[in-house]
Amino acid sequence: MSFKTVALSLAGMLIMGACAAAPPVAMALSDAPRAAAEAPSGDVQNVASSMESFGTGLYAAIATGHGNVVFSPASIMTALAMTYAGARGVTAEEMAAVLHVDLDDPAFHAAMNALDLALESRSFKSGDDRVQLSIANSLWGQDGLAFEQPFLDTLAKDYGTGMRLVDFKAAAEKARVQINDWVASQTNDKITDLIPAGVLNYLTRLVLVNAVYMDATWAHQFDPNDTSDGSFTTLAGTQVTVPMMRQTSSFSYAKGDGWQAVQLPYSGNRLAMLLIVPDQGRFTDVEQELGSGLLSEAVSGLSPASVALTVPKFTFRTQAQLGSALKTLGMPTAFDPSSADFSGMTTEEQLLIDKVIHEAYIAVDEEGTEAAAATAVVMRATSAPMVDVTFEIDRPFIFALRDTETGALLFLGRVVDPSGS
């Protein structure tokens, strides 16, 4: 497959002034079309199970302390799966283990594509009932760096994205703003500053980004008139007063050792929120069972019941740097300047993962749920590029401040002693 460079206008995607036109961004496009959802159903179920195993494993590393937590295993795994497409050797082996990949690479990426398309098919709108579920990927690569064609083909065929070409070496901050604006456009402005200032620099070579957005109404909506303040006991043992939603309806309910669970379906009954509530004093014990099949146990135990349900409204977000967690889970080589192998991406420079940044947002109210998440995998060169000239100004010099277009000389002077006058 060959690739071609084209100009992609981001007007309407980049958040610019009302009258400002978005600058064009060149793209390296594989001519491989997005594949249809042709993976065997067993392979799709395999990667969905891998996503659950990866997510419950990562939960323990993220959910520290007593604070709220929300993150998207789907978003993080997709961004890392795109990165895995360019990994080789021990780097790839470790990433495969952490992501619970047990299919060969072409089958894995094809199954990820089929799962992505299946999830997006859940979207619908009927009157006031709606489910919007969108998943988008983007790559932002250093202009002029030769990326490997099989890598570009995989990302085009199985992840539906080409590579936007930017200049991290000379304009990293501009690229950061463009990436963040793209994320904002994909998450209904719920995540507007995914990559903080200073994260990208002249050594950045590639940023792989995934964004997930969901807006769905409950199949059984809560009546706002039944919502009133109630007491909620926090993990730290203190009591707070929060709005509590109430309704009695038929839900799927389960009860296990030290916990109860209820599943709230969204309109269309193809997506649902599962709530697992540990018994008083058992939260830590139950939480630790997430990594040993608690979700599957709860789902398999669900059966219809008339439930008088009280649940709090809530809105919050989580921002996390995942590098340390991913190293702990078993993929340190990807972050190691001396041994990271991403030669499947490019052979011009040795790359490593610099940072993995994730942000997620969730809001639950009487009508339904709005949730958004984005993940950025930041790749950088392992060392500074070769320096052509070393220029140390350690002696008297003349300076001129001038207008470069007209040559007008604004200031002129000399420095013979920087410490004095």
Q: What is the CATH number of the domain that holds 262?
A: 2.30.39.10
Same domain, 322 and 299: no
- Would residue 419 count as lying in a domain? no
Do both 185 and 114 map to the same domain?
A: yes
Query: Tens digits of per-residue pLDDT, 21-70?
Result: 445 567 766 777 777 777 889 999 999 999 999 999 999 888 887 788 99
Domain total in the chain: 2
Residues 275 and 327 placed together within one structural domain of the fold: no
Domain-located, residue 388: no
* Average pLDDT of the chain, as a whole number: 87
Residue 399 has pLDDT above 80, yes or no: no
Q: CB–CB of 342/93 below 8 Å? A: no
- pLDDT > 70: percent of the chain: 85
Q: What separation in angstroms does the CA of 419 have from each of 295, 395, 401, 415?
A: 67, 12, 21, 10
From 291, 312, 333, the end of a domain falls on 312
Q: What is the CATH number of the domain that holds 185?
A: 3.30.497.10
Per-residue pLDDT for 180 more than 90?
yes
User: 388 vs 19, which has greater pLDDT?
Assistant: 388
The predicted pLDDT at position 211 comes to: 97
Q: Are residues 121 and 270 in the same domain?
A: no
Q: Is residue 389 part of a domain?
A: no
Residues 245 and 344 in one domain: no
Which amino acid, residue 261? A
Query: 421 falls in which pLDDT band (50, 70, 90)?
Result: low
Which pLDDT score, from 0 to 100, does residue 420 have? 63
Buried b (16+ CB within 10 A) or exposed e, 91-104: bbbbbbebbbbebe
Predicted pLDDT of residue 418: 64
Model pTM? Answer: 0.87
Residue 46 shares a structural domain with residue 149:
yes
The predicted pLDDT at position 6 comes to: 35
Closest CA to 262 of 248, 272, 250, 251: 251
**Same domain flag for 347 and 264:** no
Q: Are residues 36 and 175 in the same domain?
A: yes
Q: Per-residue pLDDT tens for 67-108? A: 889 999 999 999 999 999 999 999 999 999 999 999 999 999
Distances (CA, A) of 214 to 51, 134, 314, 316, 361: 18, 7, 16, 15, 10
Q: How far apart are CA 362 and CA 313, in angstroms?
A: 11
Residue 420 inside a domain? The answer is no
Residues 302 and 332 occupy one common structural domain: no
pLDDT classification of 3: cutoffs 50, 70, 90: very low
* CA end-to-end span of the chain: 64
* pLDDT top residue among 1 and 367: 367
Residues 320 and 301 in one domain: no
Predicted confidence (pLDDT) per residue in 309-323, tens digit = 999 999 989 999 999
Determine, yes or no, domain membership for 294: yes
154 and 210 assigned to the same domain: yes
Residue 8 confidence (pLDDT) above 60: no
Same structural domain for residues 263 and 353?
no
Give pLDDT tens digits for 251-284.
999 999 998 899 999 999 999 999 999 988 888 8
Range of the domain at 188: 3-217+316-381
**26-40, 185-199, 201-215, range with the lowest pLDDT:** 26-40
